[in-house]
Amino acid sequence: MNDQAEVLRLKAERTRADELTCNRTHRSRETIIAVGSGKGGVGKSNIALNLALELSWRGRSTCLIDADLGMGNSTILAGVTPRYTLGHLLRDGKRIEEIITQGPLNLGIIAGANGLKELANLSNEDRIRLSRAISGFAGKWDYCVIDSGAGISENVLTFMEKADQCLVVATPEPTSMADAFGLIKVLSERRCRARISVVVNRADSVKEARNVAERLSGLSIQFLNQTVDWAGFLFEDSAVQKSVVKRSPFSAFNRNSRAAQSISRIADCVEKGIEISDIGEDSIGNKFKGWLERLFCDG
């Protein structure tokens, strides 16, 4: 009975989320999806990996590029051991096609280097070289998902600016929302061509996720004149942490989990395009202004 009640509750929440989140319309397929965050520790890499796995499970040729240079961990989360990393491309002259690792569900993975300080602070020449290599490589896949790292360093921004869609991951914590807005602000100022969408992680409820999305969208419209979509959310779920510990991504090995269902919805938005229907200027108001000024507005 408890299991049946849980299933019914999840169906009700998903129906409600459908009403709140987006109206989906068919559009041309995007190739490069960059996943970033204003700060670390918000689940960005796990979302990037599981989104890529979901797209691959749907029969799309998909590659995940761990561009979190210096501290890449996508292969750890995926449970695979790479022979080569982006470090071999930059330091040893390997071609990007030579450093692919086969992941679950036929996902191709380009591993980021871990613990290499020089990769965390690329020269402008190396950054351009890597960016061009990724751009040329991405065109060979239906989808190329880039884990672009956290923050607003030149490394992060270079990869996000190459994308067709940027997913900015935030949690309901005020610091995470402030840093997410900071990333959106910098992308907007640099006239990033990508469509920017928010993914809310570790939400306790649909209402909480909606509030985070409304707040970031409202601030972006009011202060940046920047449209920001809502691509979906994941609930706070201990099963996600367990999958990380086991190196067993939930989109591949636990497809009936609540987290996998959430990632599937995000993949729907990525594939079909989204248009926010319930977050507009009427919902912004002055309630966001004080919050913005307290957190990060210098005037």
CATH of the domain at 224: 3.40.50.300
- Determine the Cα–Cα distance for residues 147 and 169; give it in Å rounded to an integer: 11
| The pLDDT value given to residue 277 | 40
What are the pLDDT digits (tens) for 190-248?
Answer: 999 899 999 999 999 999 999 999 999 999 999 999 999 999 999 988 888 889 999 99
What does 21-46 look like in DSSP terms, one character per residue? H-EE---PPP-EEEEEESSSSSSHHH
Residue 2: other Cβ atoms inside 10 A? 6
The predicted-structure confidence for 81-134, as pLDDT tens digits, reads as follows 999 998 888 888 899 999 999 999 999 999 987 666 666 678 888 888 888 888
205 belongs to a structural domain: yes
Question: For the chain, what is the domain count?
Answer: 1
The band of 9, judged by pLDDT with boundaries at 50, 70 and 90, is: low
The structure tokens listed for 275 are 């248009």
Residue 180, pLDDT > 70, answer yes
Give the predicted TM-score (pTM) of the model. 0.83
9 falls within a domain: no
The Cα-based distances of 60 to 31, 51, 80, 97 in angstroms read 11, 12, 20, 18
Residues 172 and 207: beta-carbon distance below 8 Å: no
Q: Which residues is 232 bridged to in the sheet?
A: 199
* 61 within some domain: yes
Q: Domain for residue 6, yes or no?
A: no
Q: For residue 23, is it within any domain?
A: no
Task: Tell me the percentage of the chain whose pLDDT exceeds 90.
Answer: 57
Domain that holds residue 61: 28-295
- For residue 228, tell me if it sits in a domain: yes
Q: Which H/E stretch holds residue 290?
A: helix 287-295
For residue 53, the model assigns a pLDDT of 97
